[in-house]
Amino acid sequence: MLAVLTTRVRLEERLLLDALERRAVPHEVVDDRSLVVELQSGTPTRYTGVFNRIMSHTRSVYSAHLFEASGHRVVNSSHVIELCGDKILTSLALVRAGLPTPRTVVSVTPDAALRAVETVGYPAVVKPAVGSWGRLLSKINDRDAAETVIEHKQAMRSPAHSVFYVQELVDKPARDIRAIVLGDRVVAAVYRRSEHWITNTARGATTEPCALDPDLVDLALRAAKAVGGGMLAVDLIERSTGELLVTEVNHTMEFHGLAAVADVDIADLIVDHLEEVLFR
The arithmetic mean of pLDDT across residues 164-176, rounded, is 93
The total number of structural domains in the chain stands at: 3
For residue 140, what are the β-bridge partners?
Answer: 124
> Does 197 have pLDDT greater than 80?
no
CA distance 133 to 209: 20
Q: What is the pLDDT of residue 161?
A: 82
> Does 219 have pLDDT greater than 70?
yes
CATH number for the domain spanning 145: value is 3.30.1490.20
In a domain, 141, yes or no: yes
On the CB side of 243, CA atoms within 13 Å amount to 10
Q: What is the pLDDT of residues 97-113, one digit of tens each?
A: 999 999 999 999 999 99
Q: What is the pLDDT of residue 101?
A: 98
> Does 55 have pLDDT greater than 70?
yes
Residue that terminates a domain, selected from 20, 54, 84: 84
Q: Element (H or E) spanning 95, and its range?
A: helix 87-96
The DSSP result for 188-209, as a single string, is: EEEEEE-SSS---GGGT-EEEE
Q: What is the CA radius of gyration of the chain?
A: 19
Distance between start and end Cα atoms, the chain: 13
Of the candidate ranges 64-78, 124-138, 156-170, 183-197, the one whose mean pLDDT is the lowest:
124-138
Q: What is the pLDDT of residue 44?
A: 64
In a domain, 92, yes or no: no
Residue that terminates a domain, selected from 114, 137, 168: 168
CA distance 191 to 196: 14
On the CB side of 114, CA atoms within 13 Å amount to 12
CATH number for the domain spanning 231: value is 3.30.470.20
210 closest CA partner among 263, 132, 268: 263
Residues 161 and 178 occupy one common structural domain: no
Residues 164 and 179 occupy one common structural domain: no
Q: What is the pLDDT of residue 252?
A: 94
Q: For the CA atoms of 206, 208, 211, 217, what is the dihedral angle to 10 degrees? A: 30
> Does 203 have pLDDT greater than 70?
no
Query: In terms of residue numbers, what domain contains 153?
Result: 103-168
Q: What is the pLDDT of residue 176?
A: 93
Residue that terminates a domain, selected from 143, 168, 193: 168
CA distance 245 to 125: 15
Q: Is residue 214 reached through a cis peptide bond, with omega within 30 degrees of 0 on the bond before it?
A: no
On the CB side of 80, CA atoms within 13 Å amount to 25
Tell me the residue type at 187: V
Q: Could you tell me the pLDDT band of residue 256, with boundaries at 50, 70 and 90?
A: confident
Contacts 24+ apart (CB under 8 A), 191-199: 192/257, 197/139, 197/169, 198/134, 198/137, 199/174, 199/175
Of 46 and 230, more confident:
230
Residues 60 and 144 occupy one common structural domain: no
For residue 188, what are the β-bridge partners?
Answer: 180
| Surface-to-core class of residue 100, CB atoms within 10 Å of its CB (0-12 exposed, 13-18 middle, 19+ buried) | middle
Contacts of 96 (CB under 8 A, 6+ apart): 226
Residues 150 and 183 occupy one common structural domain: no
The share of the chain scoring above pLDDT 70, in percent, equals: 95
Residues 254 and 273 occupy one common structural domain: yes
Of 33 and 132, more confident:
33
Q: Element (H or E) spanning 185, and its range?
A: strand 185-193
The arithmetic mean of pLDDT across residues 25-48, rounded, is 86
Coil vs helix vs strand at 265: coil
Q: Could you tell me the pLDDT band of residue 133, with boundaries at 50, 70 and 90?
A: low
The share of the chain scoring above pLDDT 90, in percent, equals: 77
Q: What is the pLDDT of residue 134?
A: 61
Query: What's the chain's average pLDDT?
Result: 92
| Per-residue DSSP letter, 106 | E
Quickly count: other Cβ atoms within 10 Å of residue 75's Cβ: 21
CA distance 50 to 269: 17
Q: Could you tell me the pLDDT band of residue 211, with boundaries at 50, 70 and 90?
A: very high
Residues 157 and 76 occupy one common structural domain: no
CATH number for the domain spanning 34: value is 3.40.50.20
Does pTM surpass 0.85? yes
